[in-house]
Amino acid sequence: MNVQTFTYQVTGGQPAYPTVTRESRYRGPVPRVLTLEELDSYRTNMPEAEKEAYLRRVRRVIDNPNLCGPGMLPSTILVMIGQVLGGMGRLAEAEEAMTDAVTMEKAEGEPHPGAWLAGFLVQQDRYDDATQVFADVRLDNEAGPGEYDIYAGAYESADEFEKAETTYLIGIRIAEREGDTWHGDSLRAGLERLRKKVEPAEADGDDHAQQLLDAAGLALFWPRAEHAEALRRWPHLAQWLGEDWDEHRRNVECALADFQAQGIWPLILMADPDDYLAELRGEPDRRSLAVYAMSIPDEDPVSWPPESDEPCWCGSGRDYEVCCTLPAND
């Protein structure tokens, strides 16, 4: 009797949980509004078998932006479509989705889609293309700490440690300048993680650090006494710092004028031999100079150019117009 009752309860209970319930939930033809949270959960833990259905769903949302949840634009969704497609090995489609995203309006507070595209290209070992895409983001004044974090992370994942290091460093600089502690912490954590993984990079003629420095409009300047001391300690640095201080000042002035001509806001960073030594990892060379420059905090940068009747930036005490100003029409 007891057994019969028990059996009845089990079999009798089944109709209360019809198996179609779960199915009909998925079969529903009405596309719901897609929220950022939902999109994010899709991206991070979506079973392989559900990816195609996911792609269909989010493509419907792009065709009908009314289905975009708050704070979300089609560009956000396209980036994530690109990431999912990339994970499925459908690289051409992934690139197409992300490239479309770059041309669209960017959602407020979201990283620029170009940063994701650049990171994606790094994953494909297409460094030149990635550099070009990221340069475009920069020229649009959209390359902030969040964008550098994405870009640096891509280099780190690709085991391009040197590029990752310099990209983290420049991102940290920008985070400091903008007072963005959240991304600053994330970038610093990335740099720390990276430096635990790798030995100091060997000099291999890679200009990446210098390129980033130039991109940020930063010039490293050694005041007269510091310049003399640097050349005393590391005579071979003369090939980058100038044989004497006049040559060095001229080089810096030329670099700053170049930045300005490119529409980049130039800043002068004051160098110090002891600080350089403290930052030095590996050989004292051009790369290490650029990496050192990126470690100098932006607390008191010297902006350029001064007014012509103001003291020159080089610290000579003379007016700018009779000191380091380059001859006109040169």
> 129 or 319: whose CB is closer to Zn ion?
319
CB count in 10 Å sphere of residue 327: 5
Residues contacting Zn ion: total by CB under 5 A = 5
What is the C-alpha to C-alpha distance for residues 178 and 181, in angstroms, rounded to an integer?
9
> Nearest approach, Cβ of 251 to Zn ion (angstroms)?
12
Q: Which x/- pattern over 285-314 shows residues binding Zn ion (rule: CB under 5 A)?
A: ---------------------------x-x
Q: Which of 123, 124, 316, 325 binds Zn ion (CB under 5 A)?
A: 316
What is the C-alpha to C-alpha distance for residues 51 and 83, in angstroms, rounded to an integer?
11
> 31 or 223: whose CB is closer to Zn ion?
223
Span interacting with Zn ion, options 65-73, 135-143, 217-225, 320-328, rule CB under 5 A: 320-328
Q: Strands (DSSP E) along the chain, which ranges?
A: 218-221, 267-270, 302-303
Q: How many residues does the chain have?
A: 330
Nearest-CA neighbor of 221 among 212, 211, 230? 230
> 116 or 259: whose CB is closer to Zn ion?
259
Residues 105-144 interacting with Zn ion (rule: CB under 5 A): none
> Nearest approach, Cβ of 230 to Zn ion (angstroms)?
18
> 122 or 324: whose CB is closer to Zn ion?
324
> 43 or 250: whose CB is closer to Zn ion?
250
**If binding is defined by CB under 5 A, does position 324 make contact with Zn ion?**
yes
**If binding is defined by CB under 5 A, does position 270 make contact with Zn ion?**
no
**If binding is defined by CB under 5 A, does position 175 make contact with Zn ion?**
no
Query: Do 187 and 173 form a contact (C-beta atoms < 8 A)?
Result: no
131-159 burial, b for 16+ CB within 10 Å, e for fewer? Answer: bebbebbbeeebbbbbbbbbbbbbbbebe
> 277 or 326: whose CB is closer to Zn ion?
326
What is the C-alpha to C-alpha distance for residues 28 and 206, in angstroms, rounded to an integer?
55
- 130 burial (CB, 10 Å; 0-12 / 13-18 / 19+) is buried
**If binding is defined by CB under 5 A, does position 210 make contact with Zn ion?**
no
Chain positions contacting Zn ion, by CB under 5 A? 312, 314, 316, 323-324
